[in-house]
Amino acid sequence: MSDSISHCMLDLAEEEYTIEDYQSAVPRWCVGCGDHGVLTAVQRLCRDEKLPPEKTVFVSGIGCSSRFPHYLKTYGFHGLHGRALPIAQGVKIKRPDLHVFVIMGDGDCCSIGTAHWIHALRYNMNMTAIVLDNSIYGLTKNQASPTSPVGQISNTTPRGSFIDPLNPIDVTLGVGSASFVAQAVDWMPDLTHAIIQAAFHHRGFSFIRVLQRCPEFMGHKYDDWVQNPDRMLLLKHENGLKISDELGRIYRNQEIHDPSQRNRAREIAAVSDPIPVGILYRNEDIPCYEDHQVSDVMNTPEIVDTYLQKEFDKYTINPPGAPA
Amino acid sequence: MSHAASPLAAFHLIGDRSALESSSQAPMQFRPALFGTYHDLSTLRTDYPVVLVTTPGGSPWVKSLSDIIDELLQAIAEPGTGGEETRRQVLAQEQAIRSLVAGGQEGTLSQLWERAREHLVHTDGEPSAIDGKLDDKLTSAFDAIPLDGEIIGFDNRLAARLVTRAWQESENLRSKDLQKRIGRLAQKLSDILKVNHMHSPGARQPGELESAMGSGNSKVFDFEAMARILKTAPVAEPLPASRRKRIQSAIDTLDSQRFFHSNSAPSKSGKSPFAFAFSECGEALKAFRKRLPEMAALVKAISVAELEIDNHYSESRHDHFFKEFSEHQLGPRDLELFPSYLIETGQVDDQVQEEILQILRAGLPFKIVAQTNDILGDDSLAGGQLTFGTQGQQLARMALGIDQAFVLQAAASSLYRMNHQVLAGVSTSGPALFSIYCGAGYIETAAATESRAFPGFVYNPESGRNQAACFSLTGNPAQEKDWTGHELNYENPDHDYETEHTAFTLVDFIALAPQFSRRFACVPRAEWGYDLVPVSEFLGLSGHARVDKVPFVPLIDSDNVLYRAVVDERLLDAARRCLTAWHKLQEMGGINNSHAAAAVAEAKIAWEAEYVPPAVQPEPSPAASTADPAPEAAAPKPAATITPEPAPSSDDPWIETIRCTTCNECTQLNDRMFSYDGEKRAFIKDPDAGTYRELVEAAETCQVAIIHPGKPRNPDEPGLEELLERAAPFM
Ligand SMILES: Cc1ncc(C[n+]2csc(CCOP(=O)(O)OP(=O)(O)O)c2C)c(N)n1
Ligand code: SF4
Ligand code: SF4
Ligand SMILES: [Mg+2]
């Protein structure tokens, strides 16, 4: 026998899953919404990695994209607008055994949630964060977001948005302890699947921006890229994504990019046509916050009680009539 | 040729001293000439004493006093003359500590620092103001040393204490992890039982409710009323009795285990924890066997706990297995969880050797320190070979044959430098043997390694799958050479300075042992002649070249006067065998591999036989290259070319499935015609399950434009002309 008893016993209990095991309610996103394809890619990942549904959590904020957890038969937390990350961090710190995923919209992550985003990068906790970036507030029906292009007409920018959009990849690469940064597009599902898989296997905070079509409010923004594979730029490397022959035949515009090269990553991030997709940056050596936070003390009720009592003992409340 | 050659040759060949000059004495008071540089060993800055560090967090587990002082001076003494005084004082303090340790004093670094400081300050005889300054300086210098622990000098117990400290270090790490795991499992199991109880009607009794809310609420809160209300609330299904029993029994086993214990939390069973350090193999084996059932019970409890916590325990699948589970099922991976056993045997006799090999063969997690203090033995043989070194080395050589055991052979003097290997040895999951030689003192011990009498090596089976990864000759000076070489500097009778290059051989080492003195004849300088050849050189001479030559080693007497000591043939033979053994070790360590040398020689001959100088080749014409593709096959293809996949015939409808974004559009239009594959990507399941119109509409609505409708399959379908026009962009 080469393995320990408990391993053998757990193997005996290991289950095989199908995509259906992770499907929950029928998605209520608009027809043609890019979120559908990302959901499928995520469900495929769960199946391929045999993630036990009871050991997997999807945390989201508020937005169309944030409805994601409803469509997965795992644990989920549909949180507050902009606050998905702190909730996910709380889950992870208390339950490091769970697989934690975070789903955010561009408004969710890059507008109201910016502070949490920057610090989540800095903390580098082991989880996978996906930003579904449709460059608009979808759920609240058409307001400009920080990633809306100049000239975008919306309810809040009736004469067109006039300040330059923020590039989430560039901002992320600007935080020194960012350890995994990738860009995907919803209309290349196999690649999205491969990127999410690499992100899942990365130990640390993985950040994936997915350019997402919102036919409802952004019309045909990405049509030219969707229909013309030559306007996509695939980033590949032996330490990054390996492109299957099948995919390589369709997307012939490819660049060999070493994900350890941060400066080159920033140059690539600045390109918007062709749209670069793949792993821009990865560094396995950045420590996770959890690693610094190891405590030998277990949070048993007794320990919690002792600590609380100690704190309470710092104050004395004199009942009326008692000597001061 | 010197007039003394023949009597010396007679001595060398048959040990006949009768014709020797009276000045050619047996070397009773003699030492190897290279020892002449070392007068007072206690002032020598060797690797010893060392501190067995016990400061928690980040420190190494062992550090030599000289390393500690060097780092300290780096930190506190400014470079250049400004720091000179500090350096002098701290180095004097180091010397004082060395002397204390050499004088047999024991204690921690801080204790000896304190004693040495007092000694320096009070016996220096300098004025008291300076004493005060020195006092402060040394006190504050000590504060800058980040570690503390017992300080031990070089003595007979050194190896055992060093390995013991390494073993403790490794066991602490291991036990900390497992203790944490066991504690966590027990906690989570109790949580399950607790939740079960909280869902039971019993937990809703007024008394329980009150205790759950904490004291001080009884006056303001009516727990009776609360209990009455809660009575009507539905209760959860209780855990089945079998599961509760299983969980409780796992908790009990986890709580009462005696293999790991922390000082803060004594074992809940009240039984004292097991000890794992032994001085006899038999005792250790007995203890190990006796504890096996308890080990099996703990392994079982851990497995059950892990399954229960994940809610994966299935009675139909697991009950039977666990019922049958006993110590016989424990595998190496399970044993790895438990502390290893440390055995410090004294001198190894035949019986102990057999026990050790038996343990190593069984792969048990025992770490054995076997020390030998004598590798030369006595000079009692009659006619046979001298067996120098073989007693000590035999054990480690036999252990090497076992293959799965970690083996470290070293002189005690090398152990500090090999501290990483020592730690690796005690940390391996399987057995480990530390075969150590310790002589009378540091220099004598180091000389055993220097002379190849007791070479060091490490075999770590966990380092890899081949010899190169597992075996290393670390700890030996000049690994790739036969002997170690040194410069011997001396003054000749004319008071001129002379330098001689000399090798330190096994024979030089043997000269340290008085029982062999009759095998040396010391020739004073006046009688040295060309016939005297150093042993290292003599060994390399062919039979013919040896005629009229006699081998010698340089020795000095108690007044440090240099002699050449001619050695007898027996010693020379011992040196020859020692060298052969060393060559074999070298080969194991990848130096001068005889197989490789043979293969290279063979390959060279073959290559020379076959080699034809290249003729200038003409540029191949394009026609020739297509006609004869064979030579081109090896040429790399340009990386950029990607052969396009032949597109399916445009007559049949098809989907570029790999680009499908699972948007449900086509499948909602006609789910018999369009369907998802295992990856939830659309493909055409049945082109005849719908109309051409549907195919065209699907193509138009597909956002990614990956549906290709092909040619109509039913020529009678109405409106085909218009449909074909709409289908054209998707062909
Ligand atoms: C604290 C707070 N502020 C504002 C809102 C209103 N709100 C709901 S969703 C949303 C923006 C959604 O945009 P995005 O995050 O990009 O998600 P999308 O719908 O585009 O996927 C806003 C502003 C809210 N729910 N909570
Ligand atoms: S509004 Fe846009 S983002 Fe929201 S569901 Fe519809 S298409 Fe998707
Ligand atoms: S319409 Fe296109 S993208 Fe949508 S499911 Fe069908 S093939 Fe896939
Ligand atoms: Mg948005």
**Residues of the domain holding B664:** 643-730
Tell me how long chain B is. Answer: 731
The answer to whether B333 contacts A2, with C-beta atoms less than 8 Å apart, is yes
Contacts A12 to B, Cβ<8 Å: 317-318
Q: For position B596, what pLDDT does the model report?
A: 73
Measured by CA distance, the residue closest to atom 5 of ligand 2 is A29
The fraction of chain A above a pLDDT of 90, given in percent, is 78
d(CA B182, CA B116): 46
The fraction of chain B above a pLDDT of 70, given in percent, is 86
User: Does a structural domain hold residue B345?
Assistant: yes
**B663 close to ligand 3 (CB < 6 Angstrom):** yes
User: Does a structural domain hold residue B693?
Assistant: yes
Averaged pLDDT of chain B: 84
- Count CB neighbours of B602 within 10 A: 10
pLDDT band at residue B614 under the 50/70/90 scheme: low
Q: For the residues B225-244, what does the mean pLDDT come to?
A: 87
pLDDT band at residue B123 under the 50/70/90 scheme: low
Compare CB distances from B334 to A5, A213, A248 and report the shortest one's residue: A5
Nearest to B632 by CA among B642, B617, B641, B620: B620
Classify domain A16-294 at the CATH topology level. Answer: Rossmann fold (3.40.50)
Q: For position B612, what pLDDT does the model report?
A: 62
Which of A221-244 are b and which e, b meaning 16 or more Cβ less than 10 Å from the residue's Cβ? bbeebbeebeebbbbbbeebbebe
pLDDT band at residue B558 under the 50/70/90 scheme: confident
- Among A293-297, B266-270, B497-501, the range of highest mean pLDDT: B497-501
Which of B688-708 are b and which e, b meaning 16 or more Cβ less than 10 Å from the residue's Cβ? eebbbbbbbbbbebbbbbbbb
| Cβ pair B509, B578 in contact under 8 A | no
pLDDT at B124 over 70: no
| Cβ pair A68, A58 in contact under 8 A | yes
Q: For position B626, what pLDDT does the model report?
A: 41
Q: For position B469, what pLDDT does the model report?
A: 84
Q: Among A33, A38, A139, A145, name the best residue to mutate to test ligand 2's pocket (greatest count of ligand atoms within 8 A of Cβ).
A: A33
Averaged pLDDT of chain A: 92
Measured by CA distance, the residue closest to atom 2 of ligand 1 is A81
Dump the DSSP string for A254-317: EEE--TT-HHHHHHHHT--SSEEEEEEEE-TTSPPHHHHT--SS---HHHHHHHHHHHHTT---
More confident: B432 or B17? B432
The answer to whether B312 contacts A39, with C-beta atoms less than 8 Å apart, is no
| Cβ pair B674, B698 in contact under 8 A | yes
pLDDT band at residue A88 under the 50/70/90 scheme: very high
Phi and psi (nearest 5°) for A220?
-105, 30
pLDDT at B615 over 80: no
Q: Where are the beta strands (DSSP E) in B104-218?
A: 149-152
Of the ranges B30-39, B163-172, B258-267, which one carries the lowest mean pLDDT score? B258-267
Q: Closest ligand to B663 CA?
A: 3
pLDDT band at residue B63 under the 50/70/90 scheme: very high
In the block, tokens 């006190």 appear at B139
Of the ranges A83-97, B117-131, B696-710, which one carries the lowest mean pLDDT score? B117-131
- CA–centroid distance, residue B303 to ligand 4 (Å): 47
Domain with residue B710: its CATH number is 3.30.70.20
Q: How confident is the model over B481-508, as pLDDT tens digits? A: 999 988 888 888 888 888 889 999 999 9
User: Does a structural domain hold residue B630?
Assistant: no
- CA–centroid distance, residue A63 to ligand 2 (Å): 9
- Residue in chain B closest to A32 (alpha carbons) equals B663
**B697 close to ligand 3 (CB < 6 Angstrom):** no
More confident: A32 or A281? A281
pLDDT at B98 over 60: yes
**B660 close to ligand 3 (CB < 6 Angstrom):** yes
Shortest CA gap A165–chain B (Å): 26
Q: For the residues A244-250, what does the mean pLDDT come to?
A: 90
Q: Where are the beta strands (DSSP E) in B346-495?
A: 366-372, 406-411, 432-437, 457-459, 471-472, 484-491
B112 in the same domain as B24: no
Angle between helices B315-324 and A5-13 (to 10 degrees): 160
Q: For position B291, what pLDDT does the model report?
A: 94
- CA–centroid distance, residue B136 to ligand 3 (Å): 82
CA neighbours closer than 13 Å in the CB half-sphere of residue B91: 13
Q: How confident is the model over B655-666, as pLDDT tens digits? A: 999 899 888 889
d(CA A187, CA B122): 84
pLDDT at B37 over 80: no
pLDDT at B475 over 90: no
Chain A interface, Cβ < 8 Å to B: 1-7, 9-10, 12-13, 19, 31-34, 36-37, 39-40, 43-44, 52, 54-55, 186-190, 213, 215, 226-227, 229, 245-250, 252, 296, 298, 300
User: Does a structural domain hold residue B199?
Assistant: no
| Cβ pair B197, B258 in contact under 8 A | no
In the block, tokens 């609240």 appear at A140
B465 in the same domain as B444: yes
pLDDT band at residue B23 under the 50/70/90 scheme: low
Distance of CA B170 to CAs B52, B159, B174, B416, Å? 14, 17, 6, 17
B487 in the same domain as B462: no
d(CA B428, CA B405): 9
Q: How many domains does chain B have?
A: 4
d(CA B336, CA B229): 54
| Cβ pair A1, A25 in contact under 8 A | no
Q: For position B32, what pLDDT does the model report?
A: 86
- CA–centroid distance, residue A116 to ligand 2 (Å): 24
- Measured over the CA atoms of residue B493, residue B499, residue B505 and residue B509, the dihedral's sign is positive
Q: What is the distance in angstroms between the CA of the first residue and the CA of the last residue of chain B?
A: 106
Dump the DSSP string for B306-334: HHHHTT---HHHHHHHHHH--GGG--HHH
Measured by CA distance, the residue closest to atom 1 of ligand 2 is A138
The answer to whether B303 contacts A5, with C-beta atoms less than 8 Å apart, is yes
pLDDT band at residue B640 under the 50/70/90 scheme: very low
d(CA A277, CA A211): 10
B455 in the same domain as B362: yes
B130 in the same domain as B108: yes
Of the residues B449, B472, B495, the one at which a domain ends: B472
pLDDT band at residue B619 under the 50/70/90 scheme: very low
Q: For position A323, what pLDDT does the model report?
A: 64
d(CA B610, CA B622): 31
pLDDT at B599 over 70: yes
Q: For the residues B405-428, what does the mean pLDDT come to?
A: 94
Contacts A215 to B, Cβ<8 Å: 703
B520 in the same domain as B455: no
Of the ranges A66-70, A318-322, B188-192, which one carries the lowest mean pLDDT score? A318-322
Q: For position B329, what pLDDT does the model report?
A: 86
Of the residues B588, B604, B627, the one at which a domain ends: B588
pLDDT at A1 over 60: no
Question: Identity (one letter) of the amino acid at A232?
Answer: M
Q: For the residues B65-80, what does the mean pLDDT come to?
A: 91
d(CA A222, CA A188): 12
Shortest CA gap B649–chain A (Å): 17
Shortest CA gap B645–chain A (Å): 7
Of the residues B545, B568, B588, the one at which a domain ends: B588
**B665 close to ligand 3 (CB < 6 Angstrom):** yes
| Cβ pair B409, B153 in contact under 8 A | no
Q: For position B27, what pLDDT does the model report?
A: 55
The answer to whether B665 contacts A2, with C-beta atoms less than 8 Å apart, is no
Of the ranges B89-103, B215-229, B293-307, B381-395, which one carries the lowest mean pLDDT score? B381-395
Of the ranges A83-87, B374-378, B722-726, which one carries the lowest mean pLDDT score? B374-378
More confident: B266 or B318? B318
pLDDT at B41 over 90: no
User: Does a structural domain hold residue B595?
Assistant: no
More confident: A175 or B362? A175
| Cβ pair B191, A95 in contact under 8 A | no
pLDDT band at residue B186 under the 50/70/90 scheme: very high
pLDDT at B627 over 50: no
State ipTM. 0.78
Of the ranges B64-78, B238-252, B613-627, which one carries the lowest mean pLDDT score? B613-627
User: Domain locations in chain A?
Assistant: 16-294
pLDDT band at residue B632 under the 50/70/90 scheme: very low
Contacts A234 to B, Cβ<8 Å: none
Of the ranges A282-291, B62-71, B488-497, B616-625, which one carries the lowest mean pLDDT score? B616-625
Ligand 1 neighbours, Cβ below 6 Å, are: A 62-65, 81, 105-108, 112, 132, 134, 136-140, 145
More confident: B177 or B631? B177
d(CA B699, CA B657): 13
Q: How confident is the model over B650-700, as pLDDT tens digits? A: 689 999 998 998 888 899 999 999 999 988 999 999 999 999 999 999 999
B512 in the same domain as B404: no
